[in-house]
Structure 1
Amino acid sequence: MGMDMDMFTLFSDEKYSCLDYHDVDGLDDAEKREIMEVMNDAIYHFLKAAGYIHINQEKDTLLRARLWEWAEAELTSATGHDINSLEPILEQGVTVSEYYYPFASHELRLCMAQGTTLALSADDFFLPPAAREELPYLQCRIWQGLPPGHEWCGMFVDMIKDFTELYGAQDPLIGTLGATGWANYIDGWCLESRLSYFSPRSNGKENIASDPCLVEGFPSYIRGITGAPWPYAVAIFKPTRGIEVPYRLWLPYVPVVIATINFINDILSFPKEVLKGDLSNYVSLTTRTRRAMRCPSRFRGDGSLWTVRDTLCDTYEKCLNNIHSLDRAFIVGSADLAGNGGTTPTREFLDTMLAATLWASFKQGYTAWHLNCGRYYLQSVRHRLEAVSGKPQHTTNGNGV
């Protein structure tokens, strides 16, 4: 995996000076368009440094049929939307399973597609007011043994139960880790929607003296629960009900896996969040926190405080380091075992090879999904990558290993 340039050198280019701001509220439409353009360029160089080659995944027709049947029978009633209105989130839910988990069985793919679709129905405001009012109580009612307060909440609880049974089939603790991640996602979404209390609209004017100094770890904490990384991380290493990578081979790396899942999404979603004027995302919160801590900018020698450019560069650097570390842990580790000789592969070798295959396919598919999803406005990055590698590469769905 070659690195075209280090990320600090990349962001030191004068064209990235448009990122020397701290509050998206102070940007006009022309400035937002300029930022989106230069960030697409930065994303391209980041993906090249990560060794990414773009792919297009083939559609899983059976999975799509089953997901649409489920939505028609249940989700339309729970959300008050007809199937045509739900089409955008259904498409995103099904493609998540197609791209993230190309070797997973049908039942596990369907479970992740349903979970993603339900999460998106909340995140994209498809829920009726009565359901949104019940969201803060969803997990509270679970622990009290009370029935869900709304039909949609009941669907979400049923999805968590199915996830727990499927992914805990070999080890109940693994199923529980992912299940609590789903439940915490709803709490995280509710907390994020309240972050306006911490992020007053300032119209570009800053008063650090009155700005709450959130602890340095807070942006990562809130990001960790709103991104629901645990269910998606658990699902990487269990392709079928009866086959999974022993947790001793991947659990020690799970903090880095989770951080990488979040960082890649933060990087690839940043252009759309600028356009939306989002104040509660990881980049905005981190920038505000570092400024409140009086951290100086790495790019300006005049004593100026930390800016969005600093946060983005820091995020890019951390994400690349994580990717290379995980590649060494899973992919290089399996190659080392293969080089030890022997005619009969050991159980450890087979498990390590499976972990390497599943991690590599997830990393590739997770990135490709974002590039192919219209909500992220990354078409120019995708076209540029396709031009470099020739026509788009296609992979065939495994539907189980």
Structure 2
Amino acid sequence: MATSQFSTCIQRLFSEIGFRHEPFPSYDANYWGPFHRWMLDTLGPTSSWGPKKLAELEHAAGGVIERSYPYASTELKLLFAKLTAIAILIDDSIEDEAVYDHLVQFSAKLYRGEAQQNGMLALYHTNMRELSDMYGEDSVLRGLATVPWINYIDACLMEKQIFTAECQRSKIVDPRQMRRCENEDGLALKFPHYLRSKSGIAEAYAAGIFKANKNQYLPLTKFIKVLPDLTFYIEVINDVLSFYKEELAGETYNLIHLRTRSISSSRVHSKGVDGEWTPYDTLQLLCDEIREATYRIDGLLRLDECERKMRGEAVESDIDDVDVEIAMQWRGWRDGYISWHLECRRYKLGFLECAVTSGMQRQE
């Protein structure tokens, strides 16, 4: 896929959903200072990573939380940043057999109330407990915020098993076996996103949107109906904006390639010249689905009306301050999450950030 095709597709999505690239925040010493020390003195010694890799991990994990939760307290941001850093480290360490053996036992030890023998996993468990405490008596939101971090471990193990099978599949030369695999892909149209949803931790990040600090309470009934679309948004925006770097690296085990394979095997044809369904077709399809999900979230949370109320314009009389809080915290996530992807070195999207920001300046 050409860079220009990718850029055009993403910029169109940003325009359709009304993305706003906010200025980069000034340095927050109260957030970055403690997080930096924790990375060096606490997390670092539990891993085999050197200073350079740890610095990149700090940049990625700390940045996504800072950008995505502009209304959150420092305490909440630090907890999410720490858990995010450990989750990335777990994913990148799963090929280490010693780490893998501990990951296999993580859930069992957790459910039996036994101590984790691996330092990184013990730290992971500690931060989950602290996050649980943050949610107080709100048992539903607490479950949404903490359980996905537990499930993430098993999701990583699931992906490892499936990826191992995928590698073996790629070596198949028997035409009959290949036809069987293609038939399975065509019948398993929903599996690629199911696999992605298991490792996305999206419900936990969504719960963070609606709990800016320990004392904030937002009625569950005012936002619960957006969660299916919101978790989809969180997972798929990441996959769409990760796709460029993954294509550069030649990676094919991701949502876009797996879904392309499923759609192609189900005999769906593209409108292109040769009629073959391609990863670019899937990228466009996902952008359409993100756009529709965003519209539904905005509508359910009455974002437009809340923003008009903040500007002092006349709105429906039942819009109250709680509605505005919820809508603004969603708006902060929706724009901040994309902004982070454009700015983070990991994604190599500097060309896209320049195109987006210059386009916005021309509109002004």
Any conservation in 2 of the 1:71–1:83 contact (CA below 8 Å)?
no
Matches within 5 A, 1:142-161: 142-161=110-129
* CA shift for structure 1 position 387: 1.6
Matches within 5 A, 1:1-400: 18=1, 35-55=2-22, 56-125=24-93, 129-166=97-134, 168-196=135-163, 197-198=165-166, 200-201=169-170, 207-211=178-182, 213-214=184-185, 215-294=188-267, 296-300=268-272, 304-330=275-301, 331-332=303-304, 334=306, 339-341=315-317, 349-390=320-361
Please identify which structure carries the higher helix content.
Answer: 2
CA distance in 2, matches of 1:59, 1:189: 33
Q: Which AA in structure 2 matches 1:222?
A: L
* CA shift for structure 1 position 128: 5.4
Q: Which deviates more from structure 2 when the two are superposed, residues 249-258 or residues 324-333?
A: 324-333
Q: Structure 1 regions of 5+ residues with no counterpart?
A: 1-17, 19-34, 394-401
Q: Structure 2 regions of 5+ residues with no counterpart?
A: none
- Where relative contact order (Cα < 8 A, 6+ residues apart) is larger, the structure is 1
* CA shift for structure 1 position 77: 1.6
Q: Deviations over 1:99-142 (max 9, x none)?
A: 00011111101101101111111233499542233223212221
Q: Which AA in structure 1 matches 2:170?
A: R
* TM-score, normalised relative to structure 2: 0.88
Q: Which deviates more from structure 2 when the two are superposed, residues 179-188 or residues 198-207?
A: 198-207
Q: Deviations over 1:7-65 (max 9, x none)?
A: xxxxxxxxxxx5xxxxxxxxxxxxxxxx3442123222221222223222223211111
Cα–Cα, structure 1 residues 301 and 335, in superposed 2: closer, same or farther, change >3 Å? same
CA distance in 2, matches of 1:86, 1:161: 24
Any conservation in 1 of the 2:183–2:265 contact (CA below 8 Å)?
yes
CA distance in 2, matches of 1:151, 1:279: 32
CA distance in 2, matches of 1:49, 1:204: 44
Q: Which deviates more from structure 2 when the two are superposed, residues 133-142 or residues 206-215?
A: 206-215
Any conservation in 2 of the 1:170–1:242 contact (CA below 8 Å)?
no
Q: Which deviates more from structure 2 when the two are superposed, residues 349-358 or residues 215-224?
A: 215-224
CA distance in 2, matches of 1:125, 1:68: 21
Cα–Cα, structure 1 residues 323 and 203, in superposed 2: closer, same or farther, change >3 Å? farther
* CA shift for structure 1 position 70: 1.6
Any conservation in 2 of the 1:245–1:351 contact (CA below 8 Å)?
yes
Cα–Cα, structure 1 residues 77 and 335, in superposed 2: closer, same or farther, change >3 Å? closer
Q: Percent identity?
A: 23
**Secondary structure at 1:86's aligned position in 2?**
helix
Q: Deviations over 1:305-340 (max 9, x none)?
A: 533233112111100111122112220354698624
Match of 1:398 in 2: none
CA distance in 2, matches of 1:72, 1:374: 20
Q: CA RMSD in A?
A: 2.7
**Secondary structure at 2:184's aligned position in 1?**
coil
CA distance in 1, matches of 2:305, 2:138: 24
* TM-score, normalised relative to structure 1: 0.80
Any conservation in 1 of the 2:109–2:115 contact (CA below 8 Å)?
yes
Cα–Cα, structure 1 residues 350 and 223, in superposed 2: closer, same or farther, change >3 Å? same
CA distance in 1, matches of 2:15, 2:356: 9
**Secondary structure at 2:271's aligned position in 1?**
coil
Any conservation in 1 of the 2:94–2:100 contact (CA below 8 Å)?
no
CA distance in 2, matches of 1:159, 1:108: 11
Cα–Cα, structure 1 residues 274 and 152, in superposed 2: closer, same or farther, change >3 Å? same
Any conservation in 2 of the 1:297–1:307 contact (CA below 8 Å)?
no
Match of 1:399 in 2: none
